[in-house]
Amino acid sequence: MFPFIASHSRMNQPSSNPDRDQTYERFTSLLVTHQPTILGFIRTLLPQSPDIEDLLQKTCLVAWQKFDQFDPATKFSTWACQIAYFEVKNYMRTKARDRHLFSDEVLDQLAEETPRDADRLAAERAALHKCVEKLVPDERDLLAQAYTTGTTIRDIAGMLGRSANSLYKQLNRIRRRLYSCITKHLEQGGSA
């Protein structure tokens, strides 16, 4: 479930403004549909940032505040990514001294191309579901630990009695296989 909605109590409150409720429902519907694209976009620009979730949340808030400016004839994901881009730029100004932030040139290129790539990326996400199912249980468990338990790779490595480095490598191999599977899946028209 999308956390913006989960944390918002308005949906359960009686409303005195039906038009506004309708607008809100349209907004949340679009947001639910395009949240993975926006999240992926922010992650693309700030791959190492621990503040992705905060930036997503801010983007959603600003998008809601400016929703009356959204042209329904255009793509919501592109519009929302533009908002996210400004949020990322603002964020980067406060983090100028952090290591491994992309230069403006790289950032601009990625920001320009990523929304145009949204359909392909969405297809890849859909294929990813199928590809994850093909992993053996141990690999799925490892991914689940790495991505959802809130522990670091070092923590998991400690629990498993392995080095963090070896775990990074194993995760990379799994991701490579997933990527390869996604590519094959899409090459075969999504039927793999």
- Which residue do the tokens 């359960």 mark? 12
65 part of the interface to other proteins, by CB under 8 A = yes
Q: In a 10 Å sphere around its CB, with 0-12 CB exposed, 13-18 middle and 19+ buried, how is residue 123 labelled?
A: middle
174 vs 143: CA distance, rounded Å: 9
Q: Which is nearer to other proteins, 39 or 73 (CB)?
A: 39
**Please, which residue, 73 or 92, has the CB nearer to other proteins?**
92
* Distance of alpha carbon 22 from alpha carbon 3, whole angstroms: 20
Stretch binding other proteins (CB under 8 A), from 46-54, 69-77, 78-86: 46-54
10-39 residues in contact with other proteins (CB under 8 A) are 10, 20, 24, 36, 39
Contact 167/157 with Cβ under 8 angstroms? Answer: yes
Q: Interface residues for other proteins in 93-152 (CB under 8 A)?
A: 94, 99-100, 102-103, 105-106, 109-110, 113-114, 117, 121, 124-125, 128-129, 132, 140, 143-144, 147-152
Q: Count the residues of the shown chain that bind other proteins, applying the rule CB under 8 A.
A: 76
Which residues have C-beta within 8 Å of that of residue 135, sequence separation ≥ 6? 143, 174, 177, 178
Q: Which is nearer to other proteins, 76 or 112 (CB)?
A: 112
User: Is residue 179 involved in binding other proteins (CB under 8 A)?
Assistant: yes
